[in-house]
Amino acid sequence: SQQGEEDPQALSIQEGENATMNCSYKTSINNLQWYRQNSGRGLVHLILIRSNEREKHSGRLRVTLDTSKKSSSLLITASRAADTASYFCATDLSSNTGKLIFGQGTTLQVKP
């Protein structure tokens, strides 16, 4: 069964605006990751945040993790049309085994 729930399921914004996606999970984790997928193609790894970290940045991406609430958020600032994609959170439950449990995903559309 899916570990993560994501909201919103779909998000449509104008270019230049910020996009925030949320992910909740059920059990303790070793780390949480965010991925992007364009039009059903392969997954692109965006960012990994470990269970002992609270915030992480990578370029226009900002990820937060609240282990007490079992939730994470992905913020994309100054969005671009090229950011249009599906975004998934995924949790690695223990010791970086590589076995990931994915959330349902958020479909982001950035209008030019």
Partner 1 sequence: SAVISQKPSRDICQRGTSLTIQCQVDSQVTMMFWYRQQPGQSLTLIATANQGSEATYESGFVIDKFPISRPNLTFSTLTVSNMSPEDSSIYLCSVALTGSYTFGSGTRLTVV
Contact set with partner 1 (CB under 8 A) = 1-2, 33, 35, 40-43, 45, 48, 88, 90, 92, 96-105
Least separation in angstroms between residue 78's CB and partner 1 is 26
Pairing status of strand 55-58 against strand 61-66: antiparallel
Instruction: Tell which residue, 77, 1, 6, 88, has the closest CA to residue 45.
Output: 88
Q: How far is the CB of 9 from partner 1 (least distance, A)?
A: 10
What is the DSSP code (8-state) at residue 21? E
Minimum gap (Å) between residue 7 Cβ and partner 1: 13
- The conformation of residue 18, written as its DSSP 8-state character, comes to -
Q: Is the CB of 9 or the CB of 18 nearer to partner 1? A: 9
